[in-house]
Amino acid sequence: MIRVRHATALDAASMAHLLNAIIETGGTTALTRPVTATDLKDWMTVDADRSAWQVALDDTEAVVGFQWVAPHAKLPPQACDVASFVQLGRTGLGIGSALFDATRKAAKDLGYDWINATIRADNEGGLTYYQSRGFRDWAIDEGVKLDSGQVVNKISKRFDLK
């Protein structure tokens, strides 16, 4: 059974471990360099009053996924950006759904009108995940250069909270 709660700084090491495995595998996140627990703790403090971080825990209380919403410089103030990560080998088991239920409520409670998800165009799983939550395409960025030098297209999807 999956339980979702607000993430804290104490979760940062587990979250970094989960995210680094995804980064190392490649192909699904725009992040290309490993992250540390300190990186995640720092990210949690940026715009903390306009952000919400959630973790999904399994029966052993291990972090099996996490998601956050936060403001983004390229979005209007009534919109927030979302990022989602589920442990490798654990996708399709309801973790993302449980996370988004909590994140959607948190975004609404923070006063946002809509949530933006920007996904690499070659990330079929991510595109399917957000589509299945009710997100719809609203923008495409072509030829985006990642830190690794790889060039990808990105699709932005929108979920209206109202």
How far is residue 65's CA from residue 88's CA, in Å, rounded to a whole number?
Answer: 9
In this prediction, residue 69 carries a pLDDT of: 98
In this prediction, residue 27 carries a pLDDT of: 64
Strand order in the sheet with 3-6: 3-6, 52-57, 63-70, 79-86, 114-120, 151-160, 136-145
Radius of gyration over every alpha carbon of the chain, rounded to an integer in angstroms: 15
Left if phi > 0, otherwise alpha if psi is -120 to 50, otherwise beta: which for 74? alpha
Assess contact for 120 and 152: CB atoms under 8 A: yes
In this prediction, residue 16 carries a pLDDT of: 97
Instruction: Show pLDDT as tens, one digit a residue, over the chain (162 residues).
Output: 899 999 999 999 999 999 999 999 876 777 778 999 999 999 999 999 999 999 999 999 999 999 999 999 999 999 999 999 999 887 777 899 999 999 999 999 999 999 999 998 988 888 999 999 999 999 999 999 988 888 989 999 999 998
In this prediction, residue 32 carries a pLDDT of: 76
Distance (Å) of CA 131 to CA 55, 63, 95, 118: 21, 24, 16, 12
Domains parsed from the chain with CATH numbers: 3-117 (3.40.630.30)
Distance (Å) of CA 62 to CA 65, 67, 112, 144: 9, 15, 30, 34
pTM above 0.75, yes or no: yes
How far is residue 98's CA from residue 102's CA, in Å, rounded to a whole number?
Answer: 7
